[in-house]
Amino acid sequence: MQKGWICISRHNSLRDMIAELLETAGCKDVTTEPLLIPFNGRELPAGANKADGARLDVSARSVWNPLERAFLDVRVFHAQAPSNKALGSPTTMYNSHERQKKNLYNKRIVEVEHGTFTPIVLSTTGGMGREANKFFKKLADKLSRKSGQRYSEAMTFIRKRVRFDLLRTTVIALRGERGLKSSSAVKIEELDINLEPVL
């Protein structure tokens, strides 16, 4: 029970952080756990998620292209788990997890939702897959334009947010949650993206 709760907690924390950053960057119609349109018997490849009531983690408009709806799904894996170690190199691990997510959702998103699908694959050590890296670079560009920060500062801020989220939930997984539960996370607008003093 504890292990399942930790996985959900890690996943939900990252999902909410990504949705918050998308809203801050000026993306429209940001939604967590959007319900997918039923595929109504359309041809989907073997292995695709055909379930009614299927959901992804985040959707938003104007992520990649103006007004286009983008769907994101988060996966966090532990590289030292036996199932992942068998894959070999970290690059192979990221590619394998991205491919699994794409096989499940990509065709359905393109054919039924008429949107784009991006798997956000992260490891518990703070690394990220190729697709996640592209997404966070795009997000950093949008944040820097919106806030007036330099791109490098926005990218550093995003990487720190992701890694601290991963670290916090990994520590909880190792030692269990202690102390009072926080009612809510610190709002992004209350944080200073630029860590250098402005002169």
* Contacting residues for 169 by C-beta, under 8 A, at least 6 apart: 6, 9, 10, 13
Domain span including residue 74: 2-41+58-190
Report the range of poorest mean pLDDT among 11-15, 44-48, 100-104, 191-195.
Answer: 191-195
Predicted confidence band at 3 (pLDDT cuts at 50, 70, 90)?
Answer: very low
Q: How many CB atoms lie within 10 A of CB 106?
A: 18
Has residue 47 been placed in a domain?
A: no
Q: What pLDDT digit, counting tens, does each position of 145-154 carry?
A: 999 999 999 9
Percent over 90 (pLDDT), the chain: 52
Work out the average pLDDT over 130-143.
96
Has residue 62 been placed in a domain?
A: yes
Domain count, the chain: 1
Has residue 53 been placed in a domain?
A: no
* Contacting residues for 198 by C-beta, under 8 A, at least 6 apart: none
Has residue 199 been placed in a domain?
A: no
Has residue 136 been placed in a domain?
A: yes
Q: What pLDDT digit, counting tens, does each position of 84-116 carry?
A: 888 888 889 999 999 999 999 999 999 889 999
Q: Is the pLDDT of residue 20 over 60?
A: yes
Q: What pLDDT digit, counting tens, does each position of 160-175 carry?
A: 999 888 887 777 666 6
Has residue 197 been placed in a domain?
A: no
Residue 154's pLDDT is 94
Has residue 141 been placed in a domain?
A: yes
Has residue 46 been placed in a domain?
A: no
